């Protein structure tokens, strides 16, 4: 049976509003000017600590910033996150012919809360979040861990994601990556790292269903 691993942000859900607001709160807490929204958005998909470092926070302070971010994010994440168009249909469609997992750089605890809210959690056998690995995507560790825990065959395992982090991780782990066009990575960039690019998670699932 095929296995499909999904990324979350930009692939199944849109939590941009919650993410940007939580960065605003963190920068405000430390009396620093918040970077431009476009500079935050292009980093979404990376772990929070790396995002903050790329936005100018020193490594020895970064976890204090992450803590403030998370305190606010948890309060608002559910009401300020939405499913992307046809994401639920994509999951239900995939569940009919494949075993499913989530591989994300998002905190697993928050990811489960969101998926439970959207009534999708029970479709997934496994969820690998930031705290479940030492090396997040684009390192292959998260995907390899999912493959191991699901006892999956890599030749029939697929990663569906909207960034090159997902595609590089898939390639390094020896599985097939299907890119999804979203708001965080331009299509031109995604085409450089993905085997196949589709317009949505639903189209990606349809491709995988028919791929031999």
What residues act catalytically? 7
CA distance 59 to 198: 36
Q: Which of 94, 79, 156 is nearest to 125 (CA)?
A: 94
Q: Which residues, 6 or more positions from 151, have their beta carbon under 8 angstroms from its beta carbon? A: none
Q: 54-80 burial, b for 16+ CB within 10 Å, e for fewer?
A: ebebeeeebeebbebbbebbeebbeeb
CA 39 from chain center: how many Å? 18
Distance CA 97, CA 72 (A): 38
CB 122 within 8 A of CB 102: no
Contacts of 105 (CB under 8 A, 6+ apart): 45, 46, 47, 129, 130, 136, 137, 142, 165
d(CA 132, CA 109): 10
């Amino acid at each position: 049976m095929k296995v499909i691993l999904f990324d979350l942000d930009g692939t199944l859900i849109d939590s941009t509003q919650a993410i940007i607001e939580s960065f605003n709160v963190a920068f405000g807490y430390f009396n620093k000017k918040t970077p431009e929204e476009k500079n935050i958005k292009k980093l979404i998909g990376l772990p929070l600590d790396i995002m903050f470092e790329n936005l100018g926070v020193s490594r020895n302070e970064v976890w204090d910033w992450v803590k403030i971010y998370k305190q606010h994010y948890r309060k608002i994440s559910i009401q300020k996150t939405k499913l992307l168009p046809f994401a639920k249909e994509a999951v239900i469609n995939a569940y009919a012919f494949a075993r499913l997992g989530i591989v994300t750089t998002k905190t697993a605890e928050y990811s489960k809360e969101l998926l439970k809210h959207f009534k999708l959690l029970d479709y997934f056998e496994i969820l690998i979040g930031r705290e479940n690995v030492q090396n997040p995507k684009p390192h292959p560790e998260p995907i390899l861990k999912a493959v191991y825990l699901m006892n999956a065959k890599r030749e029939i395992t697929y990663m569906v994601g909207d960034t090159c982090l997902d595609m590089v991780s898939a390639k390094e782990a020896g599985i097939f990556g299907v890119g999804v066009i979203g708001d965080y990575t331009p299509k031109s960039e995604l085409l450089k790292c993905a085997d196949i690019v589709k317009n949505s998670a639903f189209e990606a699932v349809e491709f995988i269903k028919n791929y031999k």
